[in-house]
Amino acid sequence: MNIVKPQTIAGVMELLPDDQLVFDHIKQIIEETFLSYQFLPIDTPAIEKNDILFAKGGGETEKQIFGIDSSKKDMSLRFDLTVPLARYVSEHFSDLNFPFKRYQIGKVYRGERNQKGRYKEFYQCDIDIIGNDSLSIHNDALLPKVIYDIFQKLDFKGIKFHINNRKLLNGFFESIEISDKEEVLRTIDKKAKIGDEKTKELLTELCGEDKALKLMGLINNKRDNKELLKYLESLDLNDNYKLGLRELKEVYDYMIKFGIDDESIMIDLSITRGLDYYTSTVYETFLDGYESIGSVCSGGRYENLAGNFSKQNLPGVGLSIGLTRLFYQLQELGLLEKYREDFTDCLIIPMDEKLNFYAIDIKNDLKNKGYKVDIYLEDGKFKKKINYADKIGVKKVIIIGQEEYENKMVSVKNMEDGNQVSVKIEDIGDYL
Amino acid sequence: MNIVKPQTIAGVMELLPDDQLVFDHIKQIIEETFLSYQFLPIDTPAIEKNDILFAKGGGETEKQIFGIDSSKKDMSLRFDLTVPLARYVSEHFSDLNFPFKRYQIGKVYRGERNQKGRYKEFYQCDIDIIGNDSLSIHNDALLPKVIYDIFQKLDFKGIKFHINNRKLLNGFFESIEISDKEEVLRTIDKKAKIGDEKTKELLTELCGEDKALKLMGLINNKRDNKELLKYLESLDLNDNYKLGLRELKEVYDYMIKFGIDDESIMIDLSITRGLDYYTSTVYETFLDGYESIGSVCSGGRYENLAGNFSKQNLPGVGLSIGLTRLFYQLQELGLLEKYREDFTDCLIIPMDEKLNFYAIDIKNDLKNKGYKVDIYLEDGKFKKKINYADKIGVKKVIIIGQEEYENKMVSVKNMEDGNQVSVKIEDIGDYL
């Protein structure tokens, strides 16, 4: 038979089972936490119509899309979970209750060039809250609390939310008469990558040295949160600025009230989020000591989720964890070991096929008692059987031979130190 | 702005959140049960190279494939989880331990014509056990036990596994000198759909009345399992038949030993499984009283999983639940209500924005005590707030007004009978 080389397409993450267990464990913590805050699950198809996906216009997205080769070529694989959310909320508008809090954990697809840590297929874990016509600002504080809980459970205590407000930034830009706001935002957004000097240089080119200095003064203002808020209040600029500042302060106060540690919040006026999608609150999230991996969770407030699909005004706020990329980065840093749990408490090995039924009785009994117990019933020599136990990394093996069977005993072998003891079947639990 | 009509592509299942919760609940029971038997999770990409997907040759599959419109058109969406499993096991052969017990729950894609209950995207839940060179027959009994546990947990006590063995059938065909075995198998496979009369007619056309009668006698033999096995032993035909019979008996004995009720097993010689993929044990699974929905879980033993990808001989056995279709059918029959659980125990409503912080304190406290508690902090009149509580179907609402706040009290409203009581904050738990 002609042998085809077994390989995945380039640029996808596929894990071996031991790693998959860790991945699933993290995914489960994320999902449980979403549910614990009453976010409802939705599961949209991975394939959407092209007129849905490109409703905003193609642009950069169109280059990255995976098209579906149907005769009509009118559908494609989703590239994020936000467009499907917009379509979902518009399509099912009358069946949903607002504010609509939903989460979705699912795969998205992008035709990225092959590079390390960039994936063509990856999981996103999104939470969004969508209002019908209006949505209170406290929602912008609830989302980080959900993410905060997730990282606490994952034992990353040093999570830090960098928060900002785009209205405040816009107001400030207006106050110093900056004409090309978008380009200034884009430049500030690059600061973490290109450094202070280069940022100042680019801003000077854009709007002159005087304004560049003022901008750098604002975005580099790294005081204690409360002091910074006080300072910003003292500036007393235009209405846009004041509204943004009030929102920023409320989000900060609610974040504290919801139970986020002050240490885990940093009002950071250099956070802009590249997209022109966000209109008010914006967030990036970093892990203390691992700032090099970049933001592990980003998002913000948007004015209208679904203007392309509906005449309803649907303001919303969302945060998203790029799980596949995060997993890759934690793995590279060797930080995943702590999530590994024993998959199997013990493996039962009957020495001979005649003892299989007796071994199954013991397995059923231990399983009923709550043990994670596996049984090896394949034919073969003892060496092959104990090798299997060794390879799967199980710590205790229960060996059943003819003599043990006759005496209602088993041998419990400790795979770590090699010790073996004879135990009455009713006492096995004490030795696991 | 130009409005695009929000709609999914045709032929996919997309659920409203309340139904999605039920779907996820069922999916979770399936996954937990797989794990409780030490099946390891894998998660292969939804996109595979075409030479992988078509390694066996295109045929029927190629017509149903969703191609990916990349410039090279060399990849497609998977149409099942078995081809990816074969690729996975071949690709990662040296990193896996055998027997390799894996499960995968994932979406697969088929270009089906639009009809009710047929989906272009649907979930499959697969478990397979793959051996390296050999695989003991007891594995064929373990898989139904896993599925049995799942349906017990889903409260379908009347599940029935129809089992058969293809070697036994082949041996029987040889003993009566049937030349076109495959066509006979295909005809027998249709029996449940076309009925006895039509089956007999077709078999007579294929191999004459005499042989057709003998075949009908075999496949319509519906005795008690033990009696049927005894009868089949009495026939004492050729080696192929005897081997198949021995396997069938062993699978039956192990199924009983693993804890499946005899009532839930039916040795059924008319089960063939259409594909020429299966070589020995085959299963179909029906729910008592709901036979009309067809088999809810099917599979069997195959000789070599990955002949196209590897020179290793990899025998295996697998069972698969088509979850999306099953969900659709249970929904149509109105059988899903029993899986609905309260998503939220209570909703907290502060009457005024000034009371939000106090309300959040109460929420945090109740959440810490383990209640599923939500809070409604949007602005608006009381009527709007209580309407929201009504729409989400929550049974208890905690109302906080100025007076309650001053007296460290809350009002607990029972949404079912409309009663409302004043309660001290430390006693709220007693009223939920």
Predicted confidence (pLDDT) per residue in B348-398, tens digit = 999 999 999 999 999 999 999 999 999 999 999 999 999 999 999 999 999
> Taking residues A265-286, what's their average pLDDT?
91
Nearest C-alpha of chain B: how many angstroms from A34? 12
pLDDT tens digits for range A312-333: 999 999 999 999 999 999 999 9
> Which among A6, A9, A97 has CB closest to B47?
A9
Interface residue of A1, A2, A8 to substitute, partner B, most B CBs within 10 Å: A8
ipTM, two decimals, is 0.91
Query: How confident is the model over A390-409, as a mean pLDDT?
Result: 95
What is the chain A residue with the closest CA to B390?
Answer: A97
Question: Which of A21, A46, A92 is nearest residue B107 as measured by Cβ atoms?
Answer: A46
Nearest to B16 among A45, A90, A92 (CB): A92
Nearest CA in chain A to B384: A98
Helix (H), strand (E) at residue B168: helix B166-175
Query: For position B59, what pLDDT does the model report?
Result: 66
- Pull the structure tokens for residue B243: 């081997």
The lowest-confidence range among A345-349, A355-359, B12-16, B74-78 is B74-78
Q: At what angle do helices B239-258 and B139-153 cross, to 10 degrees?
A: 40
> Are the Cβ atoms of A70 and B66 closer than 8 angstroms?
yes
With an 8 Å Cβ cutoff, are B38 and A67 in contact? no
Question: Chain B: nearest CA to A267, how far in angstroms?
Answer: 21
Nearest Cα to B312, choosing from A6, A351, A245, A57?
A6
The CATH T-level fold of domain A17-338 is BirA Bifunctional Protein; domain 2 (3.30.930)
Of all residues in chain B, the one with the smallest CA distance to A347 is B38
Contact across the interface for B6 and A91, Cβ inside 8 Å: yes
Q: Which of A3, A23, A89 to mutate to test the interface with B (most CBs of B within 10 A)?
A: A3
Contact criterion met (CB < 8 Å) for A392 and B2 = no
Cα–Cα distances in Å, from B395 out to B279, B373, B419? Answer: 55, 11, 11
When CB atoms are compared, the residue of A7, A36, A307 closest to B1 is A307
Test the B interface: residue of A22, A68, A366 with most B CBs within 10 Å: A68
What pLDDT shows up at residue B74? 77
Cβ pair B372:A14 closer than 8 A: no
**What are the chain A neighbours of B42 within 8 Å (beta carbons)?**
15, 17, 20
Q: Residue A61 has what pLDDT?
A: 64
Is the model's pLDDT at A135 over the cut of 80?
Answer: yes
> Do B136 and A42 make contact, defined as CB atoms within 8 angstroms?
no
How many beta-carbon pairs below 8 A join chains A and B?
Answer: 218
Neighbours of B123 (CB within 10 A): 22
Q: Are B77 and B65 in contact (CB under 8 A)?
A: yes
Beta bridge partners of A258: none
B14 with A70: Cβ contact below 8 A: no
Closest CA to A146 of A43, A25, A31, A225: A31
8 A C-beta contact, residue B62 and residue B190 = no
Low-confidence ranges of chain B (pLDDT < 70): 1, 57-62, 69-73, 274-275
Q: What is the pLDDT of residue A70?
A: 55
Q: Is the dihedral of CA B127, B131, B137, B139 positive or negative?
A: negative
How far apart are alpha carbons A68 and B135 in whole angstroms?
Answer: 39
Quick check: B310 and A6 CB within 8 A? yes
Mutate to test the interface with A, among B43, B148, B309 (most CBs of A within 10 A): B43
Quick one: pLDDT at residue A58?
A: 63
Residue A351 φ/ψ, nearest 5 degrees:
-70, -25
Q: Select the CATH number that applies to the domain covering A346-430 from these four: 3.40.50.800, 3.90.1150.10, 3.40.50.300, 3.40.50.80.
A: 3.40.50.800
Is residue A353's pLDDT more than 90? yes
> CB within 8 A of A379, min separation 6: which ones?
A353, B134, B136
Q: Do A378 and B99 touch (CB under 8 A)?
A: yes
Mutation for B interface: A15, A35, A36, A38, most B CBs within 10 A: A38
**Cβ–Cβ below 8 Å for B8 and A48:** yes
What's the order of all strands across the beta sheet hosting A121-130?
A40-41, A100-109, A121-130, A316-322, A297-302, A278-287, A159-165, A265-267
Q: Which of A7-11, A178-182, A388-392, A417-421 has the lowest mean pLDDT?
A: A7-11
**Closest chain A C-alpha to B72 CA, distance in angstroms:** 11
Q: Cα distance from A132 to chain B (closest Cα, Å)?
A: 11
A89, closest residue in chain B (CA to CA) = B6
Three-class SS of residue A65?
Answer: coil
Closest CA to A294 of A118, A135, A167, A133: A118
- What's the whole-number mean pLDDT along residues A357-386? 95
Q: Do A7 and B52 touch (CB under 8 A)?
A: yes
Q: Please tell me the predicted confidence (pLDDT) of residue B199.
A: 96
- Quickly count: other Cβ atoms within 10 Å of residue A186's Cβ: 15
Give the nearest partner residue to A17 out of B21, B102, B356, using CB atoms.
B102
> What is the tens place of the pLDDT at every residue in A154-200?
999 999 999 999 999 999 999 999 988 989 999 999 998 899 999 99
List binding-site positions of A.
80-82, 110, 124, 128, 273, 277-278
Note whether A134 contacts B379, CB cutoff 8 Å: yes
Counting Cβ atoms within 10 Å, is residue A365 exposed (0-12), middle (13-18) or buried (19+)? middle
Q: Is A67–B66 a contact, with Cβ atoms under 8 angstroms apart?
A: no
Residue of A nearest to B132 (CA): A378
Contacts of B52 in chain A (CB under 8 A): 4, 6-7
Instruction: Specify which residues A427 forms β-bridges with.
Output: none
Whether residues A258 and B360 touch (CB distance < 8 A) is answered with yes
What is the value of pTM for the model shown? 0.92
Helix (H, G, I), strand (E, B) or coil at B252: helix
Q: How far apart are CA A281 and CA B234, in angstroms?
A: 79
Tokens linked to A39: 């976010």
**Contact (Cβ atoms closer than 8 angstroms) between residue B264 and residue B148:** yes
% of chain A beyond a pLDDT of 70: 96
Adjacency order of strands within the sheet including B278-287: B40-41, B100-109, B121-130, B316-322, B297-302, B278-287, B159-165, B265-267
Cβ B21–A41 below 8 Å, yes or no? yes
**B310 chain-A contacts, CB cut-off 8 A:** 3, 6
Mean pLDDT, range A261-278, rounded to an integer: 90
Flag if B68 and A68 touch (Cβ within 8 Å): yes
Residue of A nearest to B31 (CA): A24
Contact A309 B3 (CB under 8 A): yes
Q: How far is the C-alpha of A353 from the C-alpha of A357, rounded, in Å?
A: 8
Choose among B47, B87, B258: nearest Cβ to A360. Answer: B258
Contact A379 B136 (CB under 8 A): yes
pLDDT bin (cut points 50, 70, 90) of residue A267 is very high
For residues B348 and B330, give the distance between their C-alpha atoms in angstroms, rounded to a whole number.
35
Tell me how far apart the alpha carbons of residues A137 and A26 are, in angstroms, rounded to a whole number. 29
Q: What are phi and psi of A98, to 5 degrees?
A: -115, 145
- Give residue limits of the domains in chain A: 17-338, 346-430
| Mean pLDDT (whole number) for A33-50 | 90
- Smallest CA–CA distance, residue B323 to chain A, in Å, is 14
CA angle centred on B349, ends B342 and A251, rounded to 5° = 105
- The DSSP letter of residue B216 is H
- Nearest-by-CA chain B residue for A390: B97
Single-letter residue type at B335: L
Annotated binding site of B for L-histidine: 80-82, 110, 124, 128, 273, 277-278
Nearest Cβ partner for A43 among B15, B259, B392: B15
Which of A19, A34, A69, A311 should one mutate to test binding to chain B, selecting the residue with the greatest count of B CBs within 10 A? A69
The structure tokens listed for A383 are 């060496």
